[in-house]
Structure 1
Amino acid sequence: MKKTLQKYYWNLKEFAKIVNNQKSISSYVACHSFANRLKQKGIPIYIISKSLGHKNLAIAQV
C-alpha cells in the first residue's frame, strides 16, 4: 500500500509540473477536480460517487 501511495503522490507531482503549477496538487484537490469535471459533463452523481470509492451516495452530494 505504501508503494502505491508513493506512486500516486509522485504522479500528482509530475502532473503539476506538466501543467506548470508551482504548487503541489493534493489528493483532495485532485479528487474534487475529477468529480467536478464529471459533474460538468453530466455524469450521474451515483457513478461519480462510486468512482471515488464512496460507500454512501450522500458523501458525494456534499
Structure 2
Amino acid sequence: MTRNMGSADRIIRAIVGIVLLALVFVGPQTAWGWIGIIPLATAAVGTCPAYSMIGIKTCKKQ
C-alpha cells in the first residue's frame, strides 16, 4: 500500500482515536468510542481508504 497521509494528518488521527477510545472507559462510557479504532489504525498504517477512493494525498512527494 502506498502512503497517502502526511505527518500532521497521522498525528491528528491518532489523537482523535485515543480520545474516542477513552470514551469507552471514562466519561459517558459509551460504545460509540470503539469507532476510535479506525482513526488509530489508519494513523498507524499511514493509508486512508477514503483518501484513496477520492484521490487525496496529504503526504509530501517522495
TM-score, length-scaled by structure 1: 0.32
TM-score, length-scaled by structure 2: 0.32
